[in-house]
């Protein structure tokens, strides 16, 4: 039996998906279901002075109209903490509909519950609001002078600033200096499935919520705290989730609102956000600007890096996506200063979005590196090699594993980097200017802070079920977990089933920050190994077993049969053992204790990105022709899944580079393009030839299965490689994303 890990296994849920049989949270059949529609504030700042709900209440099919006047107060809003912690994880520390104040456009101000969604929606338009508006801040440029340096950012997980060495001095003494400012439009996740919650009260203290989430346990704990109920009262189920990209990583208002509405009308209630509401209800990547100053010697060796970011956050929370983490440690550099500046504005609290922080921070660094390469006259690849650090430059500790150089080299081979003429504008094919660019990719590996658990049960027919709370939001985690469990148990994958997606199952932290697979994978591995070892111990202790008296350490399991490693003909199957001993099943609950964050190693994921673009010389149109991404994500559990994740990430980076921007109308305080027709993401026709490869670097430190995650690293550096390629094609540097054609006219 060849190992399942590393194989190219099709997704275990694939056939349900393509047949349309996967049950999403808005599709779970529930008898007597009512539908809730949220009504949002159309102003960005002010006070509701009057609400007239009478017409809405009279509309056909309406069961209830809820506003701050009759919704009731939530018990307690938990503190902001990324769901990685495994505790309650509200998206923001503000809960709407508690009073008449409006803090941001799109804030929920009413809920209509009706027998059909269309009737609820229509009744929502019949509510008359009057507002007393106050001036709103919705753009960075409106309030730069009010910027402050927060104590901590990112839900308290990271400090607002950091430094080492003497940056000012090193910059003053630098032989070469690149100083550039990069601007980033706000971005929204736009998963294909809109967030949805179906809330069912079986009793006053028994609530089930079907929710589209990255973390059923986080929803359970958050809603419990908001409703003032013990967690035992709430069960959260997430059968299938249609993508998230961070929009379902934190717990936003809709599950709680659905629960409150259901309690109010005494019926199960389903609440599905509209596409437009997805732009104001689950966070976004904030509008931001980053200034990078790199000091170097004439030979390109970096001597100093100053990296400042200014971004817009909400009135409630000091949120900035952590853009400075990877740039700070990407290269050997003794003098460093990184500072976050925040401006409070009238917005929902921003949130995680795929490759949170590094999608922008590494863009800034890698574009500055390209400029540095040009200034010192060194090939951009060579510049990265020259500045490579084999220890974490911040802590001085060795990397648990790196792979940056290997990735760059492999990418260069696959891409044909070495034939490149470095002069900008040197290649032309008809109307097209051709350019190539590269970037390093780094993404931190974040360990869950709390123990991760899983449960494994084997039946006497030799099939096993392994369970953990994690939900399947498109990453293929259920498939990968089936493989991990199969290998640990020594069973073929067909005899193992992984079950997840419920808060009743053993607690696993929300699958965020690329830590999902490693957290649940480690727990599943530890648990399945524990079950296997228990069965082996039973066999060697049983005088009727052919393995009686053997050293358990010398027994291994092949295809469900426990055998002596050096006499594989001696042994018995799990099934034989269990039948003989009249045991229906054996079950264990296993726990993986993550290593502490400072385990004596720097832990990061590395990769390299290369892109070739064609820029229409007169019309400014940019087309990406090909992309090569090589990554070192530790062990690869499933080639196909990893390939899809990494390729998806690279195309995501393409969107970030060329298309994605949410436009704020500051007069209205609302997004002006909150639809998929107006917020552009790449379509198939934009997708170039994408080559993905991995360099497998063994890592025994990070976790027992040696994986670092593939969800985000594919994004990092992709946009920078494209921007650098645009410069190579045209001689123009773009300091603002997305690079739309007018910037190249």
Partner 1 sequence: MRPISYSRVSDVGTAIGTVAADPHSAFLAGGTNQVDLLRIYVEQPRRLVDINDLPLKQVEELPGGGLRLGGLARMSDVAEHPTVRRRYPMVTESLLLGASPQLRHMASVAGNLMQRVRCTYFRDTEAPCNKRAPGTGCSAMEGVNRGHAVLGTSECCIATHPSDLGVALMALDAVVQTEGPAGQRSIPIDDFYLLPGRTPEREHPLTHGELVTGIDLPPLPVAARSRYIKIRDRESYEFALVAVAVAMSVAGGRIAEIRLALGGVATKPWRARAAERELDGAPATPESFTRAAEAEMAGATPHGMNAFKIELGKRTIVRALTEMAEREGSA
Distance separating alpha carbons of residues 719 and 724, to the nearest angstrom: 8
- Residue 188 sits in the site that holds partner 1 (CB under 8 A): no
Instruction: Determine contact, residues 384/302, Cβ cutoff 8 Å.
Output: no
Site track for partner 1 across 6-45, x = CB under 8 A: ------------------------------------x---
Catalytic, out of 193, 337, 660, 712: 712
User: Minimum CB separation from partner 1 for residue 125, in Å?
Assistant: 6
Nearest approach, Cβ of residue 493 and partner 1 (Å):
36
Residue 58 CB, shortest distance to partner 1, in Å, is 13
The one segment of 139-147, 149-157, 667-675, 726-734 that binds partner 1 by CB under 8 A = 667-675
- Whichever of 553 and 683 has its CB closer to partner 1, that residue is 683
> For the packed helices 358-376 and 718-730, what is the interaxial angle rounded to 10 degrees?
30
Using CB under 8 A, which of the segments 204-212, 252-260, 443-451, 668-676 binds partner 1?
668-676
Cβ distance 218 to 256 under 8 Å? no
Q: How far is the CB of 675 from partner 1 (least distance, A)?
A: 8
Among 125, 134, 593, 597, binds partner 1 (CB under 8 A): 125
Q: What does the block give as tokens for 61?
A: 């099919």
618 carries an active-site annotation = no
Residue 113 is a binding residue for partner 1 (CB under 8 A): no
Binding to partner 1 by residue 139, rule CB under 8 A? Answer: no
Q: Does the protein bind partner 1 through residue 181 (CB under 8 A)?
A: no
Which x/- pattern, by CB under 8 A, does the window 420-439 give for partner 1? -----------x--------
- Site of tokens 């730069």: 144
Q: Judging by beta carbons within 10 Å of its beta carbon (0-12, 13-18, 19+), is residue 299 exposed, middle or buried?
A: exposed
> 8, 50, 54, 60: which one contacts partner 1 (CB under 8 A)?
60
122, 189, 341, 561: which one binds partner 1 (CB under 8 A): 122
Q: Going by DSSP bridges, is the β-strand pair 288-296/158-159 parallel, antiparallel, or unpaired?
A: unpaired
> How far from chain centre, in Å, is Cα 662?
19
Residue 333: which of 376, 379, 275, 391 has the closest Cα?
391
Q: Which residues pair with 669 in a beta bridge?
A: none
Residues ≥6 apart with Cβ < 8 Å to 614: 429, 432, 433, 434, 622, 623, 625, 729
Pick 134 or 675: Cβ nearer partner 1: 675
Q: Is 566 in the site for partner 1 (CB under 8 A)?
A: no
**Per-position b or e across 494-511, b if 16+ CB within 10 A of its CB:** ebbbbebbbbebbbbbbb
Site string for partner 1, 625-664 (x = CB under 8 A): ---------------------------------xx---x-
Q: Under a CB-based contact definition with an 8 Å cutoff, are residues 638 and 617 in contact? A: no
Tokens read off for 625: 């022709």
In 10 A of CB 144, how many CB atoms? 12
Should residue 203 be labelled a site residue for partner 1 when binding is judged by CB under 8 A?
no
How many residues sit close enough to partner 1 to count as binding (CB under 8 A)?
34
Question: Residue 654 CB, nearest distance to partner 1 (Å)?
Answer: 10
Alpha helices in 452-511 (DSSP H): 477-489
Q: Which of 21, 52, 99, 118 binds partner 1 (CB under 8 A)?
A: 118
**115 part of the interface to partner 1, by CB under 8 A:** no
Distance CA 285, CA 246 (A): 10
Q: Which of 449, 647, 668, 691 binds partner 1 (CB under 8 A)?
A: 668
Tokens of 476: 């293929």
d(CA 556, CA 230): 44
Report the distance separating Cα 683 and Cα 661, nearest Å: 15
Query: Which of 619, 698, 700, 731 contacts partner 1 by CB under 8 A?
Result: 619
Q: Taking contact as CB under 8 A, which single stretch among the options 118-126, 144-152, 256-264, 303-311 is the one that binds partner 1?
A: 118-126
Which of 530, 686, 693, 696 is close enough to bind partner 1 by CB under 8 A?
686
620 lies in the site for partner 1, by CB under 8 A = yes
One of 680, 732, 735, 736 touching partner 1 (CB under 8 A)? 680
Q: Which is nearer to partner 1, 554 or 623 (CB)?
A: 623
Residue 672 touching partner 1 (CB under 8 A):
yes
What is the β-pairing status of strands 101-102 and 158-159?
unpaired
Contact 316, 350 (CB under 8 A): no
DSSP string, 256-286: HHHHHHHHHHTS-EEEE--TTGGGTSS--BP
Using CB under 8 A as the binding rule, whether residue 665 contacts partner 1 is answered as yes
Residue 667 CA: distances (Å) to CA of 44, 105, 136, 660: 9, 11, 8, 22
How far, in Å, CA of 515 to CA of 703, rounded? 11
Nearest distance from C-beta of residue 105 to partner 1, angstroms: 10
CB of 378 to partner 1, least distance (A): 34
Check binding of 740 to partner 1 (CB under 8 A): yes
E strands within 11-60? 34-40, 46-52
Catalytic residues: 712
Residues near partner 1 (CB under 8 A) are: 42, 60, 118, 121-122, 125, 431, 618-621, 623, 658-659, 663, 665, 667-668, 670, 672-673, 675, 677-678, 680, 682-686, 740-742, 745
């Amino acid at each position: 039996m060849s190992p399942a890990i590393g194989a190219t296994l099709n997704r275990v849920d694939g056939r349900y998906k393509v047949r349309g049989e996967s049950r999403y949270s808005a599709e779970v059949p529930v008898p007597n279901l009512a539908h809730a529609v949220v009504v949002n504030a159309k102003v960005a700042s002010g006070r509701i002075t009057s609400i007239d709900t009478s017409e809405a209440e009279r509309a056909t099919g309406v069961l209830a109209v809820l506003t701050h006047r009759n919704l009731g107060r939530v018990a307690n809003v938990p503190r902001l903490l990324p769901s990685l912690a495994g505790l309650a994880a509200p998206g923001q520390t503000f809960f709407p509909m508690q009073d008449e104040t409006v803090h941001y456009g799109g804030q929920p101000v009413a809920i209509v519950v009706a027998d059909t969604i269309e009737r609820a929606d229509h009744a929502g338009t019949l509510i008359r609001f009057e507002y007393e508006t106050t001036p709103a801040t919705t753009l960075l440029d409106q309030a730069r002078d009010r910027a402050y340096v927060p104590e901590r950012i990112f839900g308290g997980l990271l400090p607002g600033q950091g430094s080492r060495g003497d940056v000012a001095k090193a910059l003053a003494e630098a032989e070469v200096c690149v100083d550039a400012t990069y601007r980033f439009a706000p971005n929204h996740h736009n998963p294909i499935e809109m967030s949805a919650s179906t809330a069912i009260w079986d009793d006053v203290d028994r609530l089930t919520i079907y929710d589209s989430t990255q973390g059923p346990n986080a929803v359970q704990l958050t809603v419990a705290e908001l409703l003032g109920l013990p967690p035992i009262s709430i069960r959260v189920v997430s059968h299938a989730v249609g993508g998230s990209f961070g929009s379902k990583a934190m717990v936003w208002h809709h599950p709680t609102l659905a629960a409150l509405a259901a309690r109010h009308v005494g019926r199960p209630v389903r609440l599905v956000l509209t596409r437009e509401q997805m732009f104001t209800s689950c966070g976004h990547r904030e509008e931001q600007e980053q200034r990078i100053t790199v000091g170097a010697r004439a030979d390109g060796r970096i001597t100093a890096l100053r990296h400042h970011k200014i971004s817009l956050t909400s009135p409630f929370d000091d949120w900035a996506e952590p853009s400075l983490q990877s740039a700070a440690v990407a290269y050997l550099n003794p003098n460093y200063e990184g500072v976050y500046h925040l401006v409070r504005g009238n917005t929902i609290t921003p949130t995680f979005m795929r490759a949170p922080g590094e999608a922008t921070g590494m863009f800034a660094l890698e574009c500055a590196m390209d400029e540095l390469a040009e200034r010192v006259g060194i090939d951009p690849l060579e510049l990265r090699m020259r500045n490579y650090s084999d220890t974490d430059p911040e802590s001085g500790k060795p990397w648990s594993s790196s792979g940056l150089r290997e990735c760059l080299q492999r990418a260069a081979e696959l891409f044909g980097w070495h034939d490149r003429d470095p002069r900008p504008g040197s290649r032309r094919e008809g109307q097209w200017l051709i350019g190539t660019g590269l970037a390093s990719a780094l993404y931190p590996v974040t360990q869950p802070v709390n123990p991760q658990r899983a449960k494994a049960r084997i039946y006497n027919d030799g099939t096993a079920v392994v369970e953990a709370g994690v939900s399947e939001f498109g990453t293929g985690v259920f498939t990968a977990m089936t493989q991990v469990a199969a290998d640990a148990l020594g069973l073929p994958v067909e005899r193992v089933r992984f079950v997840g997606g419920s808060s009743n199952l053993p607690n696993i932290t929300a699958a965020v920050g690329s830590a999902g697979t490693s957290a649940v994978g480690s727990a599943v591995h530890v648990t399945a190994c524990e079950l296997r070892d228990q069965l082996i111990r039973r066999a060697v202790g049983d005088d009727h077993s052919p393995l009686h008296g053997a050293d358990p350490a010398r027994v291994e399991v092949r295809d469900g049969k426990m055998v002596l490693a050096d006499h594989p003909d001696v042994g018995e199957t799990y099934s034989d053992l269990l039948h003989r001993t009249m045991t229906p099943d054996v079950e264990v609950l296993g726990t993986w204790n993550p290593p502490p964050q400072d385990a004596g190693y720097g832990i990061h994921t590395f990769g390299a990105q290369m892109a070739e673009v064609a820029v229409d010389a007169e019309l400014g149109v940019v087309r990406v022709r090909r992309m090569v991404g090589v990554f070192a994500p530790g062990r690869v559990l499933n080639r196909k899944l990893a390939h899809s994740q990494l390729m998806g990430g690279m195309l995501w980076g393409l969107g970030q580079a060329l298309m994605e921007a949410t436009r704020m109308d500051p007069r209205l305080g609302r997004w002006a393009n909150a639809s998929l027709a107006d917020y552009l993401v790449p379509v198939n026709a934009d997708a170039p030839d994408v080559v993905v490869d991995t360099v497998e670097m063994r890592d025994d430190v990070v976790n027992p299965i040696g994986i670092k995650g593939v969800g985000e690293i594919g994004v990092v550096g992709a946009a920078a490689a494209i921007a650098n390629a645009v410069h190579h094609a045209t001689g123009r540097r773009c300091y603002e994303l997305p690079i739309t054609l007018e910037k190249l006219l």
